[in-house]
Amino acid sequence: MTRPRLHACAIAAFLVAEWPRYVWGWRAACLAAAMAILAAAAGSFLFRRDSRLLSVTAASLGCGLATGTLWAMFQPAHPSAPPGVRAVIAGKVQSVKSVRGRTEIMLAVRRDGRDGHPCHYEAMVFVEGSSHVEAGQWLEASGTFVVADRAPSALDVLSPLQRFEGRVRALDVPPDVGERITSWMDSSMERMSDARGGELIHLALSMVFGDTQGDLPSSVSSDFLAAGVTHLLVASGSNVGFALDMAAIPWGALLGRAWKRGRRAAYGVYALCVVWGFALLCGLQLAVLRAACGASYAIAASMCGRRVHGYTVLWASAGMAGVLDPGDLLTPSMLLSFYAAFAVCEAEALWRRMHPKRMDEGRESSSRSWLVRAGMPLVRGLVTTAVVDAYMVPVLWWMFRQWTPYAAISTAILEPSVEMLLPVLVLWSVSAAMARAWPVAFLIWCAHGMSDVGCGAMSAVLWFVHRVASWRGSLQSLAPLSLEGACAMVSGLVLIAHARVPSRRR
């Protein structure tokens, strides 16, 4: 068995033991571990009695069980009070919704009981009447846990959600560093903007740091949803890559020259600081956390002088996320993030098969017409986004029963455009911040100029998204799809992508 496959099996075995132990308890963990050992034994037999697979799997299962037990001891994933008993919980508001005269608050519970001991689970808090609560706020809820009156869905099983009824009160918890910095940038940019700037500024910041505070108007969010480009409003792996690209500029110009020896290690440490600093700025959203884990693994590998493939990075990021935050490992957001990264790897692999690199590519590219050179990235973007969207169809269908047929087109056009715009947005925020800190006439003039450019660019993005969203059939509702159906569809797509035409026998 190859080393990448052993690596993948080790991480899978670790997660198989750790997550059920933490979320479901000993019985589920032991059952999962037994099944994993059986599968590893069968695999070892198939792979010419390779005993490494069995030993690696056993060791990983042991590590997973130990890690899951430690998490369960210090930060349980279940409420301490049974249903019907009065309880007090506290946590951060994820989303708020008003339905039929009552408010439904999705709470990431981090404190449980009167003593406020640490915990890690999600609860839906039902509050009678309207309650002025906003995302990102810390709340304390007092009341009782209740049992759901419906059978749990597959997602409920993967990511248990507790139901809680009672009253809430706001807690005075100071915002974290990321929130404070983005709020400061928001207000600085708003000072330098003209009319209707607020919405565009929120949009610009959402594209860089994600819309964690729910600042965007619902009409804008709806347009992005219908155009199939909601991922642009969420900080993800591409944003982490962008942060690294931006950070490489001062490194190359200033910092890198200071290190004559150990330059690779120094840059690795610098890049790790940038990645995790950016993740902190984004409020450690799950997609960014996964991307930061993957980037850290790739950076560490490059510090050791090794190249790693996308799938290896994906597995490594799953393992790191499992160690850092097992409670959120199988939440819908994290699942979508992992699956989207897998789809991107698949699309890239398919593109490489279609257009393998050749040694004389550089020589040929100079002789190509400018039309081909300009059009090839667009074609590549269109093909890869179409493949990614094709892979996303089963999962989005299962989770949301939605399909956005124009997503590939809008993503292929918008994503490179937004990548080009990101430096402008950074300059916009930096100039606004500098003008606020040192209100010199020149800086203010620069900030106003950048504000005009940034607002214009964001207006163009908004216009395009609105146009696509208003096309006929831009957001399709789909018939219900079960988890089994979704898995079958994904398997079918993977089969199409990797099935080989039988070779001719002589």
Partner 1 sequence: MENEIRETGCPHRAAHAEGDWRGDTWEEVFQSGWEACGAASPGWTGAQSAAESWRGQKRLPIVARLRAWSRYARVVLLIGAAVGAAWFGSRQVTTGASANESVSSVPASSGLHGELAGTNADSGAAATLQVDVHGDVRRPGLVTLQEGARVRDAVRAAGGFVHAADAEDVNQAALVWDGEEIDIPAATTPSSASQQADAQGTEPLAAPARDAEAESQAALTSSASREVRTRKSAVSSGQKIDINTADVETLETLPGVGPKRAAAIVAYRQAHGPFPDLESLRHVKGIGAKTLAKWRDLITFGGVGQASDAGHREP
Contacting residue, 301, 383, 424, 430, with partner 1 by CB under 8 A: 383
Candidates 154-162, 173-181, 258-266, 368-376; binding stretch for partner 1 (CB under 8 A)? 154-162
Candidates 50-58, 70-78, 128-136, 414-422; binding stretch for partner 1 (CB under 8 A)? 128-136
CB nearer to partner 1: give 224 or 270.
224
Contacting residue, 254, 353, 362, 441, with partner 1 by CB under 8 A: 353
Contacting residue, 78, 102, 110, 163, with partner 1 by CB under 8 A: 163
The contacts of residue 310 (CB under 8 Å, 6+ apart) are 341, 344, 345, 348
Joined tokens for residue 79:
């409420």
Q: What is the DSSP string of 395-447?
A: HHHHHH-EE-TTHHHHHHHHHHHHHHHHHHHHHHHHHHHHHHHS--HHHHHHH
CB nearer to partner 1: give 67 or 312.
312
Single out the residue of 234, 255, 246 nearest to residue 275, CA to CA. 246
CB of 197 to partner 1, least distance (A): 7
Residue 386 is a binding residue for partner 1 (CB under 8 A)? yes
Q: What is the DSSP letter of 342?
A: H
C-alpha–C-alpha distance, residues 22 and 321, integer Å = 14
Contacting residue, 18, 112, 140, 215, with partner 1 by CB under 8 A: 215
* Ranges within 469-488 binding partner 1 (CB under 8 A): 469-470, 472, 474-483
Number of residues that bind partner 1 (CB under 8 A): 106
* Ranges within 178-207 binding partner 1 (CB under 8 A): 186-187, 190-191, 193-199, 202
Reduce the DSSP state of residue 160 to 3 states and report it: coil
Q: Provide the mask over 3-42, with x wherever binding to partner 1 is found by CB under 8 A and - wherever it is not.
A: -x--------------------------------------
CB nearer to partner 1: give 135 or 300.
135
Candidates 72-80, 93-101, 288-296, 432-440; binding stretch for partner 1 (CB under 8 A)? 93-101
Q: Provide the mask over 357-376, with x wherever binding to partner 1 is found by CB under 8 A and - wherever it is not.
A: xxxx----------------
CB of 66 to partner 1, least distance (A): 28
Residue 176 is a binding residue for partner 1 (CB under 8 A)? no
The contacts of residue 258 (CB under 8 Å, 6+ apart) are none
Contacting residue, 128, 134, 245, 419, with partner 1 by CB under 8 A: 134
* Ranges within 98-127 binding partner 1 (CB under 8 A): 99-100, 104, 106, 124
CB of 253 to partner 1, least distance (A): 31
Do 275 and 235 contact (CB within 8 A), yes or no? no
Residue 305 is a binding residue for partner 1 (CB under 8 A)? no
CB of 178 to partner 1, least distance (A): 16
The contacts of residue 196 (CB under 8 Å, 6+ apart) are 455
Spell out the long-range contacts of 105-113 with Cβ–Cβ below 8 A and sequence spacing 24 or more.
105/131, 105/133, 105/139, 105/141, 105/168, 107/139, 107/141, 107/164, 109/79, 109/162, 112/76, 112/79, 112/80, 112/81, 112/87, 112/88, 113/80, 113/81, 113/87, 113/88
The amino acid at residue 5 is R
Beta bridge partners of 127: 103
Cα dist. 31→34, 35, 65, 85, 160 in Å? 5, 6, 12, 31, 19
* Ranges within 219-248 binding partner 1 (CB under 8 A): 219, 222-223, 225-226
Residue 260 is a binding residue for partner 1 (CB under 8 A)? no
Joined tokens for residue 31:
């059952």
CB of 168 to partner 1, least distance (A): 14
* Ranges within 417-446 binding partner 1 (CB under 8 A): none
Cα dist. 14→30, 298, 480 in Å? 13, 20, 33
The contacts of residue 362 (CB under 8 Å, 6+ apart) are none
Contacting residue, 323, 399, 413, 453, with partner 1 by CB under 8 A: 399
Cβ neighbourhood burial of 204 (10 Å; 0-12, 13-18, 19+): buried
C-alpha–C-alpha distance, residues 190 and 470, integer Å = 29
CB of 199 to partner 1, least distance (A): 5
Residue 148 is a binding residue for partner 1 (CB under 8 A)? yes
Q: Provide the mask over 44-83, with x wherever binding to partner 1 is found by CB under 8 A and - wherever it is not.
A: ----------------------------------------
CB of 410 to partner 1, least distance (A): 14
Residue 492 is a binding residue for partner 1 (CB under 8 A)? yes
CB nearer to partner 1: give 324 or 383.
383
C-alpha–C-alpha distance, residues 281 and 210, integer Å = 10
Cα dist. 50→6, 24, 37, 43 in Å? 11, 32, 14, 8
